[in-house]
Amino acid sequence: MTVVGPRVGTPLLDAAEGLHEALPGHRVEIVGGRLLVTPPRDSGHARSLTRLTFALAPFRGHGTEVVQGVGLWLPTGDEDHAVPDLAVVEVGFGKHAVAFNCCAPEVFRMVVEITSSNRITDLTTKPQSYAAAAVPVYVVGDRRRREVVVFSDPRGGEYRSRAVYPSGERFLVPEVVRMGSDFPAEPRSDGSDGADGAGPPVELDVDDFLSVE
């Protein structure tokens, strides 16, 4: 996939930079040609991300790792980029940086959003953008409806599979997320290269996505 970086003097990017400086702690994105600003996380949102980071720990050391706050440069426009709440990325993702702390989309195996003020964008616009970027799996914790939506199988700019899991259930992370890494793994402290197979299946609790204040 060809990723087009930002152009000098692009109005929305200039505005985004200004908002980053004026509103510390806010998340600023450009998705579908629209500038989005999300206030800092509430306590429930933060609690969900902590729980999910621990739950996704098995991905660490199998050619992938779990990160927060790493942006994804989208192929849908010269300015488009999103900053998912949580992501499973290829080891060595930092070598594929584009701009504004964003990396090329091919290093992302799964992205996670916990709904807040931009709930409709998370459920409608972002699935289109992440599918266009060929992110294998996109997971949304919809706190209003008390359910998790799992989008997978991106083809032709859309996700062909959409599964919904209500509060109280558990679900397996799609196998494609834990498949072998496409990028060389970085050496670990024990001398191994970190690419020791696909790793075990990972099951997540829906309620970990749905914490409230």
37-73 per-position pLDDT tens digit: 887 878 999 999 999 999 999 988 778 999 998 999 9
204/172 Cα distance (integer angstroms): 6
Residue range 119-125: mean pLDDT, rounded: 93
User: Taking a C-beta distance cutoff of 8 angstroms, is the pair 31, 80 a contact?
Assistant: yes
Q: What is the pLDDT of residue 188?
A: 45
Model pLDDT, residue 116: 87
DSSP codes of every residue in 37-64: EEPPP-HHHHHHHHHHHHHTGGGBTBTE
Which one has a higher pLDDT value, 139 or 26? 139
Evaluate if residue 75 carries a pLDDT over 80: yes
Backbone angles phi, psi at 19, to 5 degrees: -70, -35
Tokens at 117, concatenated: 């003020």
SS3 130: helix
Question: How many other C-beta atoms are found inside a 10 Å radius of the C-beta of residue 44?
Answer: 15
Amino acid identity of residue 21, one-letter, is E
Amino acid identity for residue 197 in this structure: G
User: Under DSSP, is residue 67 helix (H, G, I), strand (E, B) or coil?
Assistant: strand
Residue matched to tokens 């790493």: 70
Token reading at 163: 């599964």
Rounded CA-CA distance 185/122 in Å is 31
Q: What are the backbone angles phi and psi of residue 4, rounded to the nearest 5°?
A: -95, 125
74 in Cβ contact with 133 (< 8 Å): yes
What are the structure tokens assigned to 102, written together?
């964003």
Query: pLDDT category, 74, cuts 50, 70, 90?
Result: very high
Please tell me the pTM assigned to this model.
0.84
H runs (alpha helix) in 78-118: none
